[in-house]
Amino acid sequence: MKYTGSCHCQKVRLEFETDLKEVMSCNCSICQRRGHLLAFGPESKFKLLTDPDGLSDYQWGKKNIHFFFCPSCGCAPFGRANTPDGPAVAVNARCLENVELDKVPVVNFDGRHIL
């Protein structure tokens, strides 16, 4: 299914095609603070609908993941990384429209001790 999503102020808009069978809750230092529920997929299933120059990019640690956020409202709707399977995205399911997150299983990931 194709979902649309955005940051809070709508300056960052996206489309993401996924079956959304589950989302991941990570306890690493950044995910824990942001409260993301992440849905993963290949870059080919993701489309940024707004100008990428309007994004701010945050990286930390090994700098393997780009955490993109809106500089106006501070919302972080997605991130990008290179994986062994190729370029991938992690979309914050809380930023997707028409998703009932209470009906999507949450898988916990121990990023605090792995990342």
pLDDT at 115 over 70: no
How far is it, in rounded angstroms, from Cα 66 to Cα 58? 6
Give which of 100, 96, 103, 107 is closest to 18, Cα–Cα. 96
Task: Tell me the average pLDDT across 97-102.
Answer: 96
pLDDT at 38 over 90: yes
pLDDT at 71 over 80: yes
- Parse the chain into domains and list their residue ranges: 2-109
How far is it, in rounded angstroms, from Cα 81 to Cα 85? 11
Helices (H), 65-114: 111-114
pTM: 0.92
Task: Tell me the average pLDDT across 78-88.
Answer: 94
Helix (H) or strand (E) holding 29: helix 29-34
CATH of domain 2-109: 2.170.150.70
